[in-house]
Amino acid sequence: MPLILLLLAILVLVFGPQFWVRQTLRKYGRDRPDLQGTGGELAQHLVERFQLDGVSVREGREGEDYYDPENRVVSLSSSHYQGKTVAAVAVATHEVSHALQHQEEHPGFMRRQKRIKMAMMIERFSVMALMVTPFIFLLTRLPQSTLITLLLGASGMIASLWVQLMNLPVEMDASFNKALPILEEGYLSRDDIPGARKVLKAAAMTYVAAALASLLNIGRWIAILRR
């Protein structure tokens, strides 16, 4: 019984944030014709207002909202780009806030970009090493190659977790130090601000959910290594 309760607690901890994020975006993703414009229109307006030189706004794939610092692109999913919803307005402002961080050379944002590149290199090396290790085992017959494979696999996951954790302060800053004050200037009514705050929290919580999922994967590898 204690083991079952522990497993349930882990599942709630890992998948609970993901469920809450989806429910929040669905709740505040209802059409609101009374809003001033779509998420895409607001994003373009904010880019012009804050004079974010070289930053463009585009409609991307559904479920993918992000700011690409390499190409200086704010990409919004179709429902947020075209939608007149509280969720669309809040998410659009959140992503433009990352462009603001970039322009201001926010220390956390700039550090994150360097760490992301480093983590991607580690992950690529990890994947390549995992592909090569079985051939090394066939050639050498060394039992240690299995342990090496597991360690290499875990290194990629640890790098992913590291990046997710580094993202959290940057996401919180974008949501609550930049996006929320902008929305409170009159882009949303006072009655809609609490809903927008929940959406902005959900935007940051996506990284919490990703970090917890990475942590669960690392836990699995640790369990394998202990056998």
- Going across the sheet that includes 73-77, the strands are 56-60, 73-77, 66-68
Residue type, 4: I
Q: Which residue, 225, 107, 79, is CA-closest to 169? A: 107
Residues ≥6 apart with Cβ < 8 Å to 227: none
Q: Which residue, 222, 108, 117, 127, is CA-closest to 165? A: 108
User: Which two three-digit tokens encode residue 183?
Assistant: 């929305």
Q: Which residue, 100, 95, 94, 105, is CA-closest to 179? A: 94
Is residue 95 annotated as part of the catalytic site, yes or no?
Answer: yes
User: Which two three-digit tokens encode residue 221?
Assistant: 């590898």
Give the whole-angstrom CA distance, residue 107 versus residue 105.
Answer: 6
Q: How much of the chain is in helix, strand and coil states, percent to nearest 5? A: 75, 5, 15
Residues 48, 59, 64, 95: which is the catalytic one?
95
Q: What are the catalytic residues?
A: 95
